[in-house]
Amino acid sequence: MTSWVGRTAAEIAAAVREKRVTPRDVVAEHLARIEQVDGRIGAFRHVRAKEALEEADEVGARPDLTELPLAGVPVAVKDNLPVRGEATRNGTAATDDTPAANDHPTVARLRAAGAVVVGLTNVPELCVFGTTEGVHGTARNPWDPTRTAGGSSGGSAAAVAAGMVPLGLGNDGMGSLRIPAANCGLVGLKPGPMTVPAGIGNGDWFGMSENGPLATTVEDARLLLSVLAGADLTPGSGQFPRKIAVSVRSPLAGVPVTRAYAAAAREAAAVLSDAGHRIRRADPPYPWWLATTSLAHWTAGTAVDAQDLDPRKLTRRTRVHAAVGRRCLGAVLQGDRREQLRRLMEPFFEEHDVLLTPALARRGPAAAPWHERGWLRNVIANTRYSPLTPPWNLTGWPAMSIPFGTLPSGAACAVQLVGPPGYEQDLLDLAGQLEELRPWRRTAPTA
């Protein structure tokens, strides 16, 4: 008997379309996998077992089954996006159990494409931090369960990396998709604005937050992004070779990049050089004010998201984060730092097609009750390990994390690719080339 757990979304969808397997059988196997391993991983806040099986039967009966790009594919949805009939808790006790009346547009597109939502995944409170823990559970890295899965899309990343689903839907406001992808050995892509419907929280963190895919292969990430964007992202359309800048410098002064992550970026650059790309060591012109601007936008976004919630039901770190953000809100709304950063970066990306960096500065923090710890301790821990993702939310440009190499613990290491506006497809093409030349293990040995 063929097992569909651990297979790619592309393989599953093809088999369902060809009627070699039913959507119910695929979903049932993945539900069994969730029951087997999620007690150790903590990926899901809520599993829709009964509903998912019923919806799988509906997919199997669709007259357009043979045309569905995600036919019968189980997916996990981050618990800050509405799923019809389910509560959206956003990682906090300050929200209620009222079921959503409608699907978020991204969820609606997944279902229209034949995917089956098997559950909603854990996030840190209000999706603020780069570790995932709180009143609804702690998401652990399936490759190293002593460590966090990352955040804030940590539950979705953990679910995919542990083989509980082949695809996860996440979003990224300061690295919230790329950070857990890097921790968990996945492909995670933050698209640029207007590529995928946003509608995340109260204003998308001033337009910095974008929805995107989490997958074990570039092909699956491309497939999911195509569905989310409603666009054809056929591989191979980009112009090769590319002019690629490689930088291992941290954007933030005093926050170093550790040896393993710097080495991964340099080695990935060497692989791409051998493939014919033009590689140059060059650092982007990160401004001195990047740290304060990142902190202001990060906290102000939380202040907006928390404004209608009962503060007594929020954890202390979130209350402090929002309080700092309220002081920054006016400057964020009236300032032009994001436009200044774009103007600074535009000449760099006129000279180089793509930027290659480490995805993280160091391995993720321990899987621990960070929600019970002080605000400053959380901010320092987040800043020390993930300084390389926020600049590209501030510019709004596409960026992605892909697995490359391993850490001494055996967990995945990762690099980041960044491009100017409209480069989503080009980044996927480069990532696909890296995957072909340096393939990675797709699923963690959690069983």
Catalytic residue positions?
Answer: 78, 152, 176
Nearest in space to 383 (alpha carbons), one of 401, 361, 402, 398: 361
* 3-class DSSP state of 429: helix
Nearest in space to 315 (alpha carbons), one of 154, 103, 17, 94: 94
Q: Are 17 and 65 in contact (CB under 8 A)?
A: yes
243 φ, ψ (degrees, to nearest 5)? -90, 115
Distance CA 410, CA 28 (A): 30
Distance CA 166, CA 179 (A): 18
Q: Are 343 and 231 in contact (CB under 8 A)?
A: no
Structure tokens belonging to residue 374: 């002080």
Which residues lie below 8 Å from residue 139, measured CB to CB, with a gap of 6+? 41, 42, 43, 121, 122, 132, 133, 148, 149, 151, 154, 155, 157, 158, 180, 367
Nearest in space to 172 (alpha carbons), one of 225, 224, 209, 126: 209
Structure tokens belonging to residue 105: 């547009």
Structure tokens belonging to residue 369: 């009750």
Distance CA 249, CA 334 (A): 30
Q: Are 165 and 118 in contact (CB under 8 A)?
A: yes
